[in-house]
Chains A and B, each alone.
Chain A
């Protein structure tokens, strides 16, 4: 019996590729099993840190994949850093932040730096997989947090934005360097200006953020995502 090439055979749709970034091996293994178990998704790689993730994405030959970024990723190149970098270097991919009982502040931070959505590890597997599919469909995804959170997230995003509007680019630069723990003199050396200039900037920064000490300024700015605070390698 002859079969015409176009008779009744549905075209095979390529599985949606997923890159799974999380520092914990058990989490990666568990999620990979779950994702590979569905017939429309497949895990392309399982990096454990930001640099490996970016290298992996550089090798991906597909137009669009979903990158799951575990918010537990910490250090100098933490989750927000990775999300921001993926958005800049690989704008076609969808980034889905992955958290555990994350609150509105954490979720708003992820969305603000460029995640297309958030999914909580505490949701049922089918909902988890659907979240990945929706992200692959260019939709904003929020799966896991109760609906009340939506309003809080919007408020937090606005607050984050307003904080950003208040500091100048130079002030943000000074604060980012200050967050590494350098003295005013060292900051001045790093930025190529006089120490007096730095102390003036810091004074203005404290005033704008409504704080009195450098530690408080760094804490406030880090909480709002204005600066990324990480321990230098």
Chain B
């Protein structure tokens, strides 16, 4: 479905910033309707329903849910020009934003001062990423590569059974629950766990889960 070139969606949890975003997008050529979305949970739905030409979204206060939001936005970037704003130089968020294909990633408060010309450049097809945010994304890329490498190296040494146990540890099961789930003795679980800790270079179960999660071996929900 083609985007409605007269519509824009803006979102910020801060009334003042929402005001700035509304005024600025309203001044863009062709934009007649600006829809503010105060509730972060509603942003994706609103963008999908309204099919705006452009969506300008303030990520702050940014946290892990920002990454989730950015990933969902990546499905929309082909039809909607998405511009994100944040005041935190966070490598993980910046890298995720660059992977997602958003057209703009701007740093507050500087970006708010000349937001109109920036948005016009973005609409014209230019990708505008704040240099500090790009730098943090590159730094994150280095960490990302290292985690991937260490993860795959460690994973190569872990047996499928140990992987099962690790996953169940990550789910929060006790040793006894793990034994029951896998239909093996608690003693066997302990033996596997000891080997696991050595391979992960940790001493406790909590450290094992943390290390495994940090290198992407398991996901903590």
- Among B37-45, B78-86, B148-156, the stretch that binds chain A is B148-156
Instruction: State the majority secondary structure of interface residues on B.
Output: helix
Residue in B101, B134, B145 whose Cβ sees the most chain A Cβ within 10 Å: B145
Given that A111-B145, A164-B152, A164-B155 are contacting pairs, would A151 and B100 also be in contact in the complex, using a CB cutoff of 8 Å? yes
A154 touches B141 (CB 8 A): yes
Separation in Å of the B140 CB from the closest CB of chain A?
8
Q: How large is the interface on A (under 10, 10 to 19, 20 to 34, 35 or more residues)?
A: 20 to 34
Separation in Å of the A94 CB from the closest CB of chain B?
11
Q: How far is the CA of A153 from the CA of B138 in the complex (A)?
A: 10
Residue in A108, A141, A142, A172 whose Cβ sees the most chain B Cβ within 10 Å: A142
Q: How far is the CA of A72 from the CA of B152 in the complex (A)?
A: 25
Chain B residues 54 to 84 lying within 8 A of chain A, measured CB to CB, are none
A147 touches B99 (CB 8 A): no
**How many B residues touch A, CB cutoff 8 Å?**
25
A38 at the A/B interface (Cβ < 8 Å)?
A: no
Nearest-CB residue, chain A, relative to B137: A150
B141 touches A142 (CB 8 A): yes
A169 touches B156 (CB 8 A): yes
A 169-184 binary contact with B (CB < 8 Å = 1; else 0) = 1001000000000000
Nearest-CB residue, chain A, relative to B149: A112
A114 touches B149 (CB 8 A): yes
Separation in Å of the A26 CB from the closest CB of chain B?
30
Q: How far is the CA of A93 from the CA of B148 in the complex (A)?
A: 20
Q: How far is the CA of A165 from the CA of B148 in the complex (A)?
A: 10
Chain B residues 99 to 125 lying within 8 A of chain A, measured CB to CB, are 99-101
B151 touches A154 (CB 8 A): no
Instruction: List the B side residues contacting A172 at CB < 8 Å.
Output: 156
Q: How far is the CA of A25 from the CA of B97 in the complex (A)?
A: 41
Q: How far is the CA of A140 from the CA of B151 in the complex (A)?
A: 19
Instruction: List the B side residues contacting A139 at CB < 8 Å.
Output: 139, 142
Instruction: List the A side residues contacting B143 at CB < 8 Å.
Output: 140
Residue in A113, A148, A157, A172 whose Cβ sees the most chain B Cβ within 10 Å: A157
Q: How far is the CA of A157 from the CA of B138 in the complex (A)?
A: 13
What's the count of A-B pairs with C-beta under 8 Å? 67
Instruction: List the A side residues contacting B144 at CB < 8 Å.
Output: 154, 157
A148 touches B127 (CB 8 A): yes
Nearest-CB residue, chain A, relative to B128: A147
Q: How far is the CA of A142 from the CA of B151 in the complex (A)?
A: 23
A157 touches B145 (CB 8 A): yes
A161 at the A/B interface (Cβ < 8 Å)?
A: yes
B138 touches A150 (CB 8 A): yes
B157 touches A158 (CB 8 A): no
Instruction: List the B side residues contacting A155 at CB < 8 Å.
Output: 99
B98 at the A/B interface (Cβ < 8 Å)?
A: yes
Nearest-CB residue, chain B, relative to A117: B142
Nearest-CB residue, chain A, relative to B98: A151
B148 touches A140 (CB 8 A): no
Instruction: List the A side residues contacting B127 at CB < 8 Å.
Output: 147-148
B148 touches A112 (CB 8 A): yes
Instruction: List the A side residues contacting B134 at CB < 8 Å.
Output: 147, 150
A150 touches B157 (CB 8 A): no
A140 touches B139 (CB 8 A): yes
Q: Can you list 21 A-B contacts with CB-CB less than 8 angstroms, sorted by A residue number?
A: A111-B142, A114-B146, A114-B149, A140-B139, A140-B141, A141-B138, A142-B138, A142-B141, A150-B98, A150-B99, A150-B134, A150-B137, A150-B141, A151-B95, A151-B98, A151-B100, A154-B99, A155-B99, A157-B144, A161-B151, A168-B156
Enumerate the 8 nearest inter-chain pairs by beta-carbon distance, A residue then B residue, closest first. A140-B142, A164-B152, A151-B99, A111-B145, A161-B148, A151-B98, A169-B156, A142-B138
Extra contacts besides A111-B142, A142-B138, A160-B148 (20): CB < 8 Å:
A108-B145, A111-B141, A112-B145, A114-B146, A116-B142, A140-B138, A140-B141, A141-B138, A147-B129, A150-B99, A150-B137, A150-B138, A150-B141, A151-B95, A151-B99, A151-B100, A157-B144, A160-B152, A161-B148, A168-B156
